[in-house]
Amino acid sequence: MVLAAAGAATIVFAPSDGPGPARLDVPVAVVADPVSAPVPAPDPARISITEPASPVIQLPASEPVRVQIPVLGVTSRVMDLGLERDGSMEVPPGAYPVGWYDRSPTPGQLGPAVLAGHVDWGGDPGAFYGLRELLPGDEIVVSRADGTVATFRVERVEEHAKDDFPTDEVYGDIDHAGLRLITCGGSFDEDSGDYRANVIVYARLAATG
């Protein structure tokens, strides 16, 4: 998974045939989080927010603590991802948890919140194994540290070669509260030990609770 806006970062995965399709016939139920201690919000100085021309659904800053993708049966804790010394983005340490890039807006804020996860790890499916199977209208539910829940609906799913990563589309300013999910995709390159593409899910905030 190369996450281009934070610098070139290559994540090496072991190739895996996987267990087959990840999409469920019946989505799993979304379960509310128990009340937990507040998690400090990121420094507002690091957040670029464009004011909308008209009111849109949005939430104040609050870090994500859990993400659920009901149609894939995915539930994962969310950790913070910063930058490495070389300017590349940190990545999750294993198949789980999912990571939130802490220089992007928090999910539900105006702008593109970015979550990254592995497609596989050590031959086993990762948290974002099934992203390529998401369809427009599918829900992604993010629980936040302040106890609120942001529900996003998928708008589109794209796959791009790693040397053609759509940086502006993923990280650029937008006029709504958006979400980007990023993982590896395409074929596996035995020589480099990496996948040749990225799968990117674009979603928009649909409801809050």
Residues 49-103: tens digit of each pLDDT: 455 455 779 999 999 999 999 999 999 999 999 988 888 778 899 999 999 999 9
Strand, coil or helix: what is 183? Answer: strand
pLDDT given at position 4 = 44
Q: What is the CATH number of the domain that holds 165?
A: 2.40.260.10
In a domain, 161, yes or no: yes
In a domain, 137, yes or no: yes
Cβ-count burial 54-70 (b if 16+ within 10 Å, e if not): eeeebbebbbbbbbbbb
Taking alpha carbons only, the member of 61, 59, 63, 57 closest to residue 175 is: 57
Question: What token pair was written down for 9?
Answer: 């970062």
In a domain, 20, yes or no: no
Gap between the Cα atoms of 113 and 107, Å rounded: 5
Q: What's the domain range around 119?
A: 4-14+58-208
In a domain, 28, yes or no: no
Q: What is the mean pLDDT of residues 119-134?
A: 93
Domain count, the chain: 1
Percent residues over pLDDT 90 in the chain: 61
pTM comes to 0.78
In a domain, 44, yes or no: no
In a domain, 46, yes or no: no
